[in-house]
C-alpha cells in the first residue's frame, strides 16, 4: 500500500476514534495485550528472522540486544498496554470555559491530535508502546520502524490489528509502513495532508534527519547534554551521590549527566572527593586546566568535549567563577534538556532556575528524574527538547490538542 | 549583518529579556509608542519611497493601500503598542505545581519562547505590532517583512530600537532583516540554532512556502475556507443574518464564510429567502444541481469551488442529506479554521461540534468571531490552523512556553 493510501485510511480511522468511548478503548487495549501474549511464539519466530539477518550483517551486540525479544519482553510489552489502559482518559475534558459580553459561550475542549506519525529505530517494543499511547488518546498512528526489526514489527502490528478487529474497532488505528526504502520515508515526512504531527524516537542522527526533512510539524525529542553545576555553596554530601547517580545509574539515556561545572573556589576541597567516587565507578574525567592542576589523572578537555553527549563512562569538567558563568556555559553547550545546580544558597538556586534555558532545571537532585513516570505522568512518549507544544517529559495529554466550541443564539459582528 | 550574527544577538537579548521586570517592559512599550508618534514625519518620508516604488512597478491599488501609512495609521500603531503595554504580564506564572512521593517539588512555570522569527508581507504596521506582542512576552524577535515595505519597516525598527535604548533595554529585542534576497530568507528558515519558532503572517502562498522550507518549528496561521451548515432544524431568522455577516462584513479575512452547506429538506423553503439577502449584498452564488434547481441565477459549482477560499463576494453552496454528510463535507474541504452549524436541535449541534475537525466550531453564531480580541485575549498574533502548541486565536500566552523547575534535597534514582 502506498503512503497516501495509508494517510487516507488513517484519516478515516481518526474520525471514528475521536468519539470512541473510554471504556471501549480500555477493552481494546486489554484485548491487544492478551493477544500479544497468546501469540508470543509467532512474534518470537518473526523476531528470530530479524536477529538472524542482524547477525549475518554483523550488527553490534548492543543493537542485537535491543532488537531481541523473549517471552518476558513480550509479557512486558503486554503489561505496558494494560498499564496504559488503566490510565484516566483525558479526552473531552473542558480545559477552560467562559462567556463573552455578547453572550457567546466559549469552551476549550481537549481533543485528539488526529493522525500521529512515529519514526523509530530497532526496538520492536516501541511498536506496541507507541500504538498504546496514541490509541488511548484517540489518535490514529502510522509507524515507521527500523528495517532491522521489520519482521518483528509486522507481526506485532498484525496481532494488534487483529485484536482491534475482534473488538469492532477500526484496525487502521494502527498502520505500519513496511516499505523500508528511503523514498517512502521521505514521502512520509511530507504527508502534511494527513499527518498532524511526526515524532522521531531514537538516535540524535534520526532526530536531526526528521527535523531537517519533515514538512509535517515535528516534536523533537531526545538528545541530552545534561550538566550539574556544583556551586561554592554546595553541600558535598549531596553533590557526590547526585553526580554519581546522574552519570552512572544508566549511561546510555538522554537524562544522564555528561558534564560538570564546578565553582573555582571549591576545586581543591571538592574535586579530590568527587574524583575518588568517579574512579570507583570507572568514569573517565576530562577537565579544563584548573581541574587538571588538582587531579593528576584528569585528561585535558578539548572544546568539543563540552558539547559531547558521551552516553558512556566519561564526564567533562569545567571550572567557573560563579553561577552567572555556569549559566552562560550551560546555555552555550546544553541541549535544553535537564540541568542541575547543587547549592544551599537560595539566591544562587533562583538565578540558576531563571537563567538556564532547559526543559527541566533541578536544585539538589539528579537529572535522571526527567522522565514521564518519575514526574507522575503515568506514561511517556518521549522527552521534548523543543519549546512548542510540549517541553520535557510528554505523557498522554501531550498527544492531544484542543478545539474551541462556541455556543450562540444568533450573534453576528 | 548576516543572519547568523543576528541570531547570536537575538540569543544574547533573549537572556536579558527573560528576566526583565513587567513594569520595565510596560515603560519601554509606552516609550516606543511615543517615539513613533513624535517621529511620524520620518516614517511618512520613508513610506513615501516605498509607495513611489510600488506605483512605479504597477502595484495593485489594494496592495498600495495596505502599504500606505498616514498620521492616523501611525497613531493607531502607537495605540496598539500602548494597549499591549496595558495587558497583564503572564510570565513567571506557575501553571501547575505538585510534590512527588520522594519529596521532589515540581513546578511548571510560564517562560518566554526565546527568539521568535516572523515573516510577513506588505503591511508596515505588523512591524510594530509583532514587536509589541513578542516583547511583552519576554521574547526577542527577528522580523522579515516584505521588500515592498523595506523603507517603512527599517524606519519603524530604527525608532523602536532607539526608544528601547533610551529605556536601557537591549535594542536587539527587535531586529529587522533588511537584506531582501531569497537566499537570506532561506537561511532564516533554517536558523534552528537560534530561532525557537517561526510564524508566517500573510497570504496562503507565503505560509505554504514557510511550512515547506523551514526546519525551524512553524506555527501555521491563516487560510480559512470556513463553512456554515444550515440544518433542517435551523431557525431561518438566525441563519440569514449570520450568513450575511460571515460572508460580507469583511470579505478579505480568514474567518469569513466561503461555503454554505444546506440540508436538502429545507432547500425550497430556505434558499429563496437566503438568495434574496445574498443578491442584495452582491454575492455571487455557486451551487450544486439541487441548489441550481431552486435558484435560477445560481452558477453550477465545480468541485474546485468547494475547496476555494474566495476572499471575494462569491459563495459556494452544497446540499447534504443530514449533519453526518455535512460534517464529512466540511472535514474534506475545510482548512481546520472555523465552521458553524445553524440549528435548534441539540443532538445535531453536539454531533457537529464533536465531528468537525477545526480550531473553532460554532453553533448559531458567525464564524467572524474567531479573533483574539473577540475571544477576549486582549491581543492577537494570528489564528493557528495547526494542532501543535496553539489552535485558533493566539494571544500573548501562545507566545510563551513552560519550563519545569524541580526542587530537591539530594534525591537520586
Q: Which grid coordinates are listed for B187?
A: 537561511
Which one of A341, A405, A407, A409 makes the best mutation probe of the B interface by having the most chain B beta carbons within 10 Å?
A: A405
Q: Tell me, what's the ipTM?
A: 0.93
**pLDDT over 90 (residue B202):** no
Across the interface, do B403 and A375 touch by the CB < 8 Å criterion? no
Surface-to-core class of residue B297, CB atoms within 10 Å of its CB (0-12 exposed, 13-18 middle, 19+ buried): exposed
Query: Do the chains contact at A389 and B388, CB–CB below 8 Å?
Result: yes
A340 pLDDT more than 80: yes
Contact A186, A161 (CB under 8 A): no
Which residue of chain B is at minimal alpha-carbon distance from A350?
B405
pLDDT at position B360 is: 98
- Say yes or no for a CB contact (<8 Å) between A412 and B237: no
The answer to whether the CB atoms of B412 and A365 lie below 8 A apart is yes
What is the mean pLDDT of the segment spanning A361-376?
A: 96
**CB-CB under 8 Å, B374 with A413:** yes
The continuous run of DSSP H or E covering B16 comes out as: helix B3-17
Residues of B in contact with A114 (CB under 8 A): 357, 387
Q: How far is CA B211 from CA A5, A46, B195, B386, in A?
A: 23, 40, 15, 11
Mean pLDDT of chain B: 96
For residue A32, the distance in angstroms to the closest alpha carbon of chain B comes to 27
For residue A15, the chain B residues in CB contact (below 8 A) are 331, 355, 357
DSSP 3-state of B229: strand
Neighbours of B322 (CB within 10 A): 14
Spatial separation of the C-alpha atoms in residues B51 and B57, rounded to whole Å: 10
pLDDT at B308: 94
pLDDT of residue A299: 97
Q: Is the pLDDT of residue B103 over 90?
A: yes
Sheet-wide strand order for B299-300: A94-99, A105-112, A400-411, B360-365, B338-342, B226-230, B257-263, B314-320, B284-287, B299-300
For the cut 80, the answer to whether the pLDDT of residue B260 exceeds it is yes
Query: What's the confidence (pLDDT) of residue B262?
Result: 98
A207 to chain B nearest CA, in Å?
A: 12
Asked whether residue B122 carries a pLDDT value surpassing 80, the answer given is: no
Q: Tell me what the mean pLDDT of segment B257-268 comes to.
A: 98
pLDDT, tens digit (0-9, with 9 covering 90-100), for A75-96: 999 999 999 999 999 998 999 9
Asked whether the beta carbons of A246 and A275 are under 8 A apart, the reply is: no
Do B217 and A100 count as a contact with CB atoms less than 8 A apart?
A: no
Q: What is the pTM of this model?
A: 0.93
A410:B238 CB<8 A: yes
Residue of A nearest to B235 (CA): A410
Residue B54: which pLDDT band, with cuts at 50, 70 and 90?
very high
Q: What is the pLDDT of residue B73?
A: 96
CB contact under 8 A, B391 and A409: no
Q: Of the candidates A15, A196, A354, which has its C-beta nearest B387's C-beta?
A: A196
B219/A104 Cβ within 8 A: no
Measure in Å the smallest separation between the Cα of B226 and chain A Cα atoms. Answer: 15
- Residue of A204, A209, A406 to mutate, interface with B, max B Cβ within 10 Å: A406
Mutate to test the interface with A, among B403, B407, B409 (most CBs of A within 10 A): B403
Q: Are B236 and B268 in contact (CB under 8 A)?
A: no
> pLDDT tens-digit profile of B5-37?
999 999 999 999 998 999 999 999 999 999 999
**Higher-confidence position of B27 and B303:** B27
Residue B353 has a pLDDT of 97
**CA–centroid distance for B237 within its chain:** 31
Identify which of B192, B362, B387 has the shortest CB distance to residue A114. B387
Residue B103 DSSP label: S
In this prediction, residue B326 carries a pLDDT of 98
Chain B nearest-CA distance from A366, in A, is 5
Average pLDDT of A154-175? 98
Write out the DSSP string of B377-408. -S--SEEE-SSSS--EEE-SGGGEEEEEEEEE
**Smallest Cα distance from B250 to chain A, Å:** 10
The per-residue pLDDT for A204 is 84
User: By C-alpha distance, which of A318, A334, A241, A349 is closest to B410?
Assistant: A241
Which three three-digit cell numbers place residue B95? 501553571
- The residues near A300 (Cβ < 8 Å, ≥ 6 apart) are A286, A287, A288, A289, A292
Task: Write down the residue that cell numbers 495529554 correspond to.
Answer: A397
Q: Choose the mutation target among A92, A112, A253, A404 for the interface with B, i.e. most B CBs under 10 Å.
A: A404
Binned at pLDDT 50, 70 and 90, residue A221 comes out as confident
Residues of A in contact with B19 (CB under 8 A): 354-355
Which tens digits make up the pLDDT trace of B279-295?
999 999 999 999 999 99
Contacts A196 to B, Cβ<8 Å = 386-388
Task: Give how far A56 is from chain B: nearest CA, Å.
Answer: 37
Residues in chain A within 8 Å Cβ distance of B339: none
Report the C-alpha gap between A208 and A222 in whole angstroms.
10
Contacts of B375 in chain A (CB under 8 A): 100, 106, 404
**E-state strands within B310-390:** 314-320, 338-342, 360-365, 382-384
The minimum CA-CA distance between A388 and chain B, rounded to whole Å, is 5
The nearest CA of chain A is from the CA of B50 a distance in Å of 34
Quote the minimal CA–CA distance from A35 to chain B in Å: 31
Which chain A residues have a beta carbon less than 8 Å from that of B244? 412
A and B: number of Cβ contacts within 8 A: 206
Does residue A122 have a pLDDT over 80? no
Percent of chain A with pLDDT over 70: 100
Burial environment of residue B174 by CB neighbours within 10 A (0 to 12, 13 to 18, 19 or more) = buried
Q: Which three cell numbers stand for residue A387?
A: 519549546
pLDDT score for A62? 85
Per-residue pLDDT band for B62 (boundaries 50, 70, 90) equals: confident
Q: Which helix (H) or strand (E) holds B333?
A: helix B323-333
Amino acid at each position: 500500500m502506498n503512503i497516501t493510501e495509508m494517510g487516507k485510511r488513517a484519516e478515516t480511522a481518526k474520525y471514528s476514534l475521536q468519539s470512541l468511548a473510554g471504556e471501549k478503548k480500555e477493552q481494546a487495549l486489554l484485548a491487544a495485550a492478551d493477544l500479544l501474549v497468546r501469540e508470543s511464539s509467532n512474534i518470537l519466530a518473526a523476531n528470530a528472522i530479524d536477529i538472524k539477518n542482524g547477525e549475518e550483517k554483523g550488527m553490534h551486540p548492543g543493537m542485537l540486544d535491543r532488537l531481541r525479544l523473549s517471552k518476558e519482553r513480550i509479557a512486558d510489552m503486554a503489561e505496558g498496554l494494560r498499564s496504559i489502559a488503566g490510565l484516566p482518559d483525558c479526552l473531552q475534558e473542558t480545559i477552560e470555559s467562559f462567556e463573552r459580553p455578547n453572550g457567546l459561550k466559549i469552551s476549550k475542549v481537549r481533543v485528539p491530535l488526529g493522525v500521529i506519525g512515529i519514526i523509530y529505530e530497532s526496538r520492536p517494543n516501541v511498536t506496541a508502546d507507541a500504538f498504546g499511547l496514541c490509541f488511548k488518546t484517540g489518535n490514529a498512528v502510522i509507524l515507521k520502524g527500523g528495517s532491522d526489526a521489520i519482521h518483528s514489527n509486522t507481526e506485532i502490528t498484525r496481532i494488534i490489528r487483529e485484536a482491534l478487529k475482534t473488538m469492532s474497532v477500526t484496525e487502521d488505528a494502527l498502520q505500519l509502513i513496511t516499505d523500508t526504502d528511503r523514498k517512502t520515508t521521505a514521502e512520509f515526512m511530507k504527508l502534511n495532508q494527513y499527518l498532524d504531527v511526526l515524532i522521531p524516537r531514537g538516535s540524535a542522527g534520526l532526530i536531526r534527519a526528521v527535523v531537517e526533512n519533515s514538512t509535517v510539524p515535528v516534536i523533537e525529542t531526545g538528545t541530552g547534554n545534561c550538566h550539574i553545576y556544583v556551586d561554592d555553596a554546595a553541600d558535598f554530601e549531596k553533590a557526590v551521590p547526585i553526580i554519581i547517580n546522574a552519570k552512572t545509574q544508566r549511561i546510555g539515556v538522554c537524562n544522564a549527566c555528561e558534564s560538570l561545572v564546578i565553582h573555582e573556589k571549591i576545586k581543591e576541597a571538592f574535586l579530590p572527593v568527587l574524583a575518588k567516587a568517579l574512579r570507583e565507578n570507572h568514569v573517565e574525567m576530562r577537565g579544563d586546566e584548573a581541574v587538571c592542576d588538582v587531579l593528576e589523572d584528569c585528561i585535558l578537555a578539548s572544546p568539543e568535549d563540552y558539547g559531547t553527549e558521551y552516553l558512556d563512562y566519561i564526564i567533562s569538567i569545567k571550572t567557573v567563577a560563579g553561577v552567572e558563568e555556569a549559566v552562560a556555559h550551560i546555555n552555550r553547550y546544553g541541549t535544553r534538556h535537564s540541568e542541575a545546580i547543587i547549592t544551599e544558597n537560595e539566591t544562587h538556586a533562583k538565578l540558576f532556575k531563571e537563567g538556564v534555558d532547559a526543559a527541566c532545571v533541578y536544585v539538589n537532585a539528579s537529572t535522571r528524574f526527567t522522565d514521564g513516570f518519575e514526574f507522575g505522568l503515568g506514561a511517556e512518549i518521549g522527552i521534548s527538547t523543543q519549546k512548542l507544544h510540549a517541553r520535557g517529559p510528554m505523557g498522554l495529554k501531550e498527544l492531544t490538542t484542543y478545539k474551541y466550541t462556541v455556543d450562540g443564539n444568533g450573534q453576528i459582528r
